[in-house]
Amino acid sequence: MTDPTATILNYFEALNAIPRCSLNEAKVCQWLQQWATRQHLSFQTDNGGNLVVPVAASPGFENAPTVVLQGHMDMVCEKTPASTHDFAKDPIVSHREGEWLTAEETTLGADNGIAIAYMLALAQDPSIRHPSLELLFTVDEETGLNGAKALQPDFVKGRILINLDSEDEGVFTIGCAGGVDTAMSLAIERQSTLPGGQLLDLVVGGLKGGHSGIDIDKHRANANKIMARALAQVQTVTPLQLLAISGGSRKNAIPRDANATIWIDAADKAAVENTVAELEATIQQEYAHSDKALFIKIHPAPAPEPADGALAPTSTDQAIRMLLSLPNGVYHMSSEIEGMVDTSSNLATVSLEGTKLTIVSSQRSASKSRLREITAAVHAVARLAGATAEDHDAYPPWQPQMASDLLSRSKRAYRMLYGQEPVIQVIHAGLECAVIGDIYPGMDMISLGPTIQNPHSPDERIWIPSIEKVWRFLAALLAEMQN
């Protein structure tokens, strides 16, 4: 292949023309099956929607062990507030900015579309010498590793797996955090707003957001927590009642925006505006290095529909105190690996419908016991507020295996190619390797990929020079599997 980067990006652009939000991967799966048919390759799907495509070994590699190359079909669909993009039908529009590829006001989908592009390019390039391969395309990774959870023990035969869902070239991931999501429901009471009041919209925005695991240690603001602070601060100068509140859109993304509609006494409007302005200045200073565009604004709101009513004062207080109290951010740092987050929580989404306030929190930890600890804290806050709490989409940690043969081969191949040692890491994010390792005991696994910044946000971008570096490494590693 004369220009592997161009070939890989061509596949990536073709993939980005197909809508593929989580739980909407059917068209992508069909596209991959059509590709396999054109390449005269067989394929198999399972009841979960996953797809595997076997690829025969190169001459001389027939006796080498099978290698599974794995990535997920779905992507996180995030966009800026001003974007009119419809993820159900519109293609992702990408463009180059110097050495970076990014998208127009949406997530780029390099997480994990670039993995699919690599797999297709490797399978159709006759110059790549490799053992028998199984190209494993999973579904619904981003909402809870659910495609991987649906895998059956006989779906793939290989016991060596290269996951292509990591985001720093030259860094090999050999372990990851486990996680669980907690959905909380608070029953609220509504009543009519009081006469002589002023309706105001409170808006938090301009935040950077990002991946709720990988970026949790970057001191980025959480829009839901800032909204809670703003509402509590307004309460110091006037009684208020909530009419509406929402924030965040994905449980695995740090929320970038939040909105609330409140009722206050009209006589206190100027005091409220001053209080919000002062808080905005304070929080902008707190996050000057991570969220330079952060803002908190308040302005008159349109009158609600006649059927709508404000939350009763008691329900308003319950909601604000609950949001203030829920843990968010880094909870424990690792005592074994310097600089690594061990346990964290992300106050992911808030929504108010009818007489129910729903809050979703996402907890992660490299330790099963500390995952239970932080989740218990979330449940405790919910109970104190009078809410119910239910856990969903739990997945285990992936424990690192430093004696892995695949890791040893990978380090040797990288060192021979680039004259330096790769970085070996355990990440604070969920990877399908954790689930796959449970289903296929003894699976030797590593995760790697090109450099991607700001996944799960409209600022997502991929560093183009890293694409070929990963390609060359994969080619060298697969060729080394003959020995």
Q: Active-site positions?
A: 74, 141
Report yes or no: 76 and 22 within 8 Å, Cβ to Cβ.
Answer: yes
Report yes or no: 321 and 384 within 8 Å, Cβ to Cβ.
Answer: no
Amino acid at 394: A
Our CA dihedral for 112, 118, 123, 129, rounded to 10 degrees, sits at -130
The rounded distance, in Å, linking the Cα atoms of 313 and 236 is 14
Which residues, other chains included, contact 154 with Cβ-Cβ below 8 Å and sequence gap of 6+? none
Q: Which residues pair with 204 in a beta bridge?
A: 258, 296
**200 is written with which tokens?**
């105001």
Concatenated DSSP letters for 133-185? EEEEEES--TTTSHHHHT--TTS---SEEEE----STTEEEEEE-EEEEEEEE
Report yes or no: 78 and 455 within 8 Å, Cβ to Cβ.
Answer: no
Q: How far, rounded to the nearest angstrom, does the alpha carbon of residue 237 sit from its chain's CA centroid?
A: 38
Sign, CA torsion 299/300/301/307: positive
The rounded distance, in Å, linking the Cα atoms of 330 and 333 is 7
Three-state secondary structure call for residue 23: coil
**93 is written with which tokens?**
């529009």
For residue 32, which of 139, 142, 144 has the smallest C-alpha distance? 139
Amino acid at 381: V
The rounded distance, in Å, linking the Cα atoms of 410 and 10 is 27
Three-state secondary structure call for residue 217: coil
Report yes or no: 416 and 165 within 8 Å, Cβ to Cβ.
Answer: no
Q: Say which DSSP state 238 is in.
A: S
